[in-house]
Amino acid sequence: MILESFTTGLPGKPAWQPFRYRDVNPLGGTTKVRLLGAPNPAMRLLHHRLVRFLRGLNVPMPHAVGARPAGSPVVNVRRHLYIDNRGRPARYRPNRYFLLYDLRHAYCNVDPGLLAGIICQHCPELTVQDGAVLDFLLGYCFGPNPNKPYQLELPIGQRRRGGLVQGGPASPDLFNLYVAITLDQPLGELCQRYGLTYSRYLDDLTFSSRERSIGTKKRQVIRRKIRDAGFTVSDRKAKNLDIRKGPLTINGVCLNRQGTIFCPRWYLRRIRTLVHAARKGAAVDLAALHGMMGVFTATLPRRWELVDINGRRSERRVPVGRLRIEQKTLDEYRQLQARQRRQP
């Protein structure tokens, strides 16, 4: 009955339109060609219903940050800050040692049978034995082998599994659910034993330690847990860093040893260029500008009220010069938004 509610009243037959997309990370600056699937209106509506259903399961995901309510790269970085009460006023300080891992071909390594079992485990109205959940996932959420042409028009039994479809509205939520059970739980227990802080932004894993470095043996055990979950680490993107040797970049957001979170300089220059061009009437992708401004405003310095162990409230000081420069860009963006609202 639940699965039937996803497919009733759709404006047509759900389908994907495959295409290749040259993805340029606006924060990290990296470029990658991805094979994506663009959903038609029926498929998009089906996935939106699936997203509401998945989030209604209320599965605990304490380590997941990406594609979660109120989640962002900035929130992921703030997971690795702690309150330093040694001075007055108390301040947010970052952990010293960081280990950054990226899961290689993460969507392709999701097992549909195991994912169907996880969904049925958290929804008593569904059962694994009849295979309806697995057929639903294979039919609407999983694509064929990424190394072969798309053949989504074939019957389910003739399709080749290629992992979750990149570009599907429900793919991030399905991936979070799958990884929260298969990977986050064992890694969370391991990090608690080692005294590490762990967070995950989709397929990017961040580990940090306040005092002791994350040595070879710990890294080997972490990699073993990742392999047991069916994933592999991209060695090219793996990093073991010490924040005292310079600022770090985590998911494109910078963090220095004072605990200040900020955007890279080139990213701010790009925002200023787009805002200036839009105010002059040039053709600008406003959706991309609004997304970049979302990250920018999240990193604006602010006065945070802290409560130390003695119950005393204190405020973090903000560099006035940096606030003045970034406030100018924010004011120009707000003027642009006000002008757009006045236009018919």
By the 8 A CB rule, do 264 and 254 touch? yes
Return the pLDDT at 152. 42
pLDDT digits (tens, 9 = 90+) for 250-275: 998 999 998 888 888 888 888 889 98
More confident residue, 181 or 262: 181
pLDDT bracket for residue 320 (50, 70, 90): very low
Mean pLDDT of 34-62: 92
More confident residue, 324 or 193: 193
User: Range with the lowest mean pLDDT among 110-124, 138-152, 298-312, 321-335?
Assistant: 298-312
pLDDT bracket for residue 122 (50, 70, 90): very high
User: Range with the lowest mean pLDDT among 10-19, 26-35, 289-298, 333-342?
Assistant: 26-35
> CA-based Rg of the chain, rounded to a whole angstrom?
22
Q: How far apart are CA 141 and CA 136, in angstroms?
A: 8
Return the pLDDT at 25. 64
In a 3-state reduction of DSSP, which class is residue 97? strand
Mean pLDDT of 89-111: 89
pLDDT at residue 18 greater than cutoff 50: yes
pLDDT at residue 28 greater than cutoff 70: no
pLDDT digits (tens, 9 = 90+) for 196-220: 999 999 999 999 999 999 999 999 9
Return the pLDDT at 147. 42
- 299-321: b (≥16 Cβ within 10 Å) or e: bbbeeeebeeeeeeebebeeeee
More confident residue, 1 or 113: 113
pLDDT bracket for residue 159 (50, 70, 90): very low
More confident residue, 171 or 294: 171
pLDDT at residue 168 greater than cutoff 70: yes
Long-range contacts of the stretch 216-225 (C-beta < 8 A, 24+): 218/194, 219/99, 221/190, 222/99, 222/101, 222/187, 222/190, 225/183, 225/186, 225/187, 225/190
Return the pLDDT at 302. 55
Average pLDDT over the chain reads 83
pLDDT at residue 154 greater than cutoff 90: no
Mean pLDDT of 63-71: 91
- 10-29: b (≥16 Cβ within 10 Å) or e: beeebebebeeeeeeeebbe
Return the pLDDT at 197. 96
pLDDT at residue 21 greater than cutoff 80: no
Measured in whole angstroms, the distance separating CA 112 from the mean position of its chain's CA atoms is 21
